[in-house]
Amino acid sequence: MKKKITKKEAEKQVEEFFHNIHEKSSKDVKKIKRLAMSYNIKLGEKRKLFCKECFTPYKEPSVRIKNDFITITCDKCEHKNRWKFEGELDLSSMTHEEDECEC
């Protein structure tokens, strides 16, 4: 018989899992997703860290932003995951002071 854990312990396991998701396999992602579903734990933004089709964590995915949608192409199975883009892009880190032109 399996040992029952509380919802708080399950939430803690899910949080610890997603801190180093890049070292995990698709089998591990399936297990933690099943754990979250059984305890009714919302993954929220964490579900965007792995492919919906093959459950492998994204390592170097292809990311496209077009018409308020983010499209991420999985590098393993080539499945395209799309999400509505809400918010603004922070381009302040990309600008350089010496590149400013006062034309």
Which sequence spans correspond to the domains of the chain?
Answer: 7-87
Task: Report pLDDT for 26.
Answer: 94
Task: Report pLDDT for 77.
Answer: 94
48: its two tokens: 């965007």
Task: Report pLDDT for 28.
Answer: 96
How many CB atoms neighbour CB 50 within 10 A?
A: 24
Task: Report pLDDT for 85.
Answer: 84
Sheet holding 62-66, edge to edge: 62-66, 69-73, 80-84
User: For residues 71 and 63, is the Cβ–Cβ distance under 8 A?
Assistant: yes
91 class by beta-carbon count within 10 Å (0-12 exposed, 13-18 middle, 19+ buried): exposed
In the 8-state DSSP scheme, what is residue 56? P
